[in-house]
């Protein structure tokens, strides 16, 4: 049995945990970007046990626009599990995890796809500055990336979220990994392949 929805070229996968207030803004920015691309696409929304009306809002969007698809988890599992569910359902030749809270600019997808067309398998989005974040968040993020790079055998790019493009071959490699407790950013890098960055 295949979990996939009908196959498309580009899958954007978005984990949602109590994101009711950002849904309209998110789709208002994301959909025009995807429509520019001339590729068929799907937006897979993983509802990770939200207790607000995220799920009801997603259903409304899905009824208007079938490219917006929903995977509804039975409870809150945390974002790494939500992303894993998204990866399992995504059928795209390219798969793009995106945060729901608009910390990742959807417009950058154009550049991710351009690099993919040049032949890269993983194109990750790197934040140039953490402006607008509290001092504590900036310091803790720095410490986090430093610690993780000491612990890890593969370099984990700093100031990089889950927002990136993964070619189908990378997605298939990730699906074969046995880890159940996952740090997706680490696995995305660990699998290798031809990787590059775009900055924002």
Site residues for Mg ion per CB under 5 A: 101, 103
Answer left, alpha or beta for residue 30, where phi above 0 means left and psi between -120 and 50 means alpha: alpha
- Candidates 4, 20, 39, 76; binder of ligand UDP (CB under 6 A) is 76
Binding string to ligand UDP for residues 10 to 49, with x set by CB under 6 A, is what?
A: -----xxx-x----------------------------x-
Residue 137: C-alpha distances to residues 59, 125, 132, 140, 142 (Å): 34, 19, 10, 5, 8
Task: Say whether residue 78 binds ligand UDP (CB under 6 A).
Answer: yes
Closest approach, Cβ 18 to ligand UDP, in A, equals: 7
**Cβ-based nearer residue to Mg ion, 9 or 101:** 101
Task: Say whether residue 88 binds ligand UDP (CB under 6 A).
Answer: no
Q: Nearest-CA neighbor of 75 among 54, 52, 55, 48?
A: 48
Instruction: State which of positions 89-108 bind ligand UDP (CB under 6 A).
Output: 99-101, 103
Both tokens of 128, joined, read: 């140039």
**Cβ-based nearer residue to ligand UDP, 88 or 99:** 99
DSSP class of 102: S
Instruction: State which of positions 130-189 bind ligand UDP (CB under 6 A).
Output: none
Tokens 């900055």 -> residue: 199
Q: Length of the chain, please?
A: 200
How many residues bind ligand UDP (CB under 6 A)? The answer is: 13
Contact 43, 67 (CB under 8 A): yes
**Cβ-based nearer residue to ligand UDP, 130 or 168:** 130
- The interface partner of residue 86, options being ligand UDP, Mg ion, none and the CB cut-off 5 to 8 Å by kind, is none
- Please report, in angstroms and rounded to a whole number, the separation of the first and last CA atoms in the chain: 40
Closest approach, Cβ 196 to Mg ion, in A, equals: 24
DSSP class of 121: S
Task: Say whether residue 80 binds ligand UDP (CB under 6 A).
Answer: no
Beta-carbon count within 10 A of 184 CB: 20
Binding site for ligand UDP (CB under 6 A): 15-17, 19, 48, 76, 78-79, 82, 99-101, 103
């Amino acid at each position: 049995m295949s979990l996939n929805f009908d196959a498309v070229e580009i899958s954007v996968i978005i984990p949602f945990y109590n994101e009711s207030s950002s849904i309209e803004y998110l789709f208002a920015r994301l959909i025009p970007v995807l429509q520019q691309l001339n590729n068929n696409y799907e937006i897979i929304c993983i509802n990770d046990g939200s207790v607000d009306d995220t799920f009801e809002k997603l259903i409304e969007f899905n009824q208007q626009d079938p490219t917006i698809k929903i995977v509804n988890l039975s409870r809150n599992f945390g974002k790494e599990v939500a992303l894993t569910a998204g990866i399992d359902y995504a059928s795209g030749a390219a798969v793009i995890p995106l945060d729901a809270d608009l910390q990742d600019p959807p417009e950058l997808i154009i550049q991710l796809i351009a690099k993919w067309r040049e032949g890269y398998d993983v194109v990750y989005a790197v934040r140039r500055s953490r402006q607008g974040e509290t001092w504590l968040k900036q310091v803790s993020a720095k410490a986090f990336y430093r610690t993780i790079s000491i612990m890890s055998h593969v370099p984990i790019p700093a100031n990089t979220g889950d927002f990136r493009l993964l070619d189908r071959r990378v997605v298939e490699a990730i699906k074969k990994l046995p880890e159940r407790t996952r740090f997706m950013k680490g696995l995305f890098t660990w699998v290798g392949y031809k990787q590059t960055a775009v900055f924002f």
